[in-house]
Structure 1
């Protein structure tokens, strides 16, 4: 996976932890909904 996409996923991860909505994350990072859900699942596994 490209470094750019990893950076965007990291940004999405931080935004999710800050309580941002998936729509705002998608708008800012241009990640697919599927990618955002995967990041969200990774976070919930830790809790």
Structure 2
């Protein structure tokens, strides 16, 4: 089973917009905290 970073990033964005916690996102997407924070920063730029 390979890790697809694009799918994980897309899923993390959806979860962040839905209000999921950082721990839930890390568990479901297997992304590092650093990556999730970067995605979160990208999203908040748009608002």
Match in the other structure for 2:28: 28
- CA root-mean-square deviation: 0.4
What is the TM-score when the length of structure 1 is the normalising length? 0.90
What is the TM-score when the length of structure 2 is the normalising length? 0.90
Where do 5+ consecutive residues of structure 2 fail to align?
Answer: none
Where do 5+ consecutive residues of structure 1 fail to align?
Answer: none
Structure 1 residue ranges, 4+ long, deviating more than 6 angstroms after superposition = none
* C-alpha displacement of 1:6: 1.1
